[in-house]
Amino acid sequence: MLFAPDTEVALRSIVHLINTAANGGDSLTTVEDLEAFLDAEQFTGSRIKSTAELRSVRRLRSELAALWSGDPDTAAKSVNKLLADARALPQLVKHDHWDWHLHATTPEAPLADRMGTEAAMAIIDVIRSGEMARMRVCAADDCDAVVLDLSRNRSKLYCDTGNCANRAHVAAYRARKAAGGE
């Protein structure tokens, strides 16, 4: 295991959030979309279920996308801003089916603050571990989704939003076949 379980969960949630706007699409356009996303990610705490809350989460998505494949110095500044804006105060908590993990906001804090703080806390671990290279963009030429590489050998190149890896492997096979290989 590279990161603590709650860090990996938060990092995957960041990927899923950023990828709601991948490849020119947007699957986070309504309050209902946001609710479905939060339920799928098992995100706890209060929800207002308003268009203002949706707008704030979409703004957060843009901030996280901007820092995703950046350098550690820029990412650290973004993380510090997210934490300061939410007036974060890290603490160990245990609730629902989750064992001990970090929270840095109250369950009643605004949704985007809670999501941003959770993302920031996870990215802190990535930066401190010198593992920013695990946060990348899909290697497919026609895809701009992000990828979290938690593989042991740092070999994950393609996103999980579609079939980018499969398309790349099929294209490589056909190219080898056309060139007289295989």
Q: What is the pLDDT of residues 50-64, one digit of tens each?
A: 999 999 999 999 999
List pLDDT tens digits, range 11-47: 999 999 999 999 999 999 999 999 999 999 999 999 9
Residues of the chain falling short of pLDDT 70: 1, 181-182
Q: Over the chain, what is the mean pLDDT?
A: 93
Gap between the Cα atoms of 158 and 165, Å rounded: 5
> Do residues 136 and 69 touch, judged by C-beta distance below 8 A?
yes
Predicted TM-score (pTM) of the model is 0.89
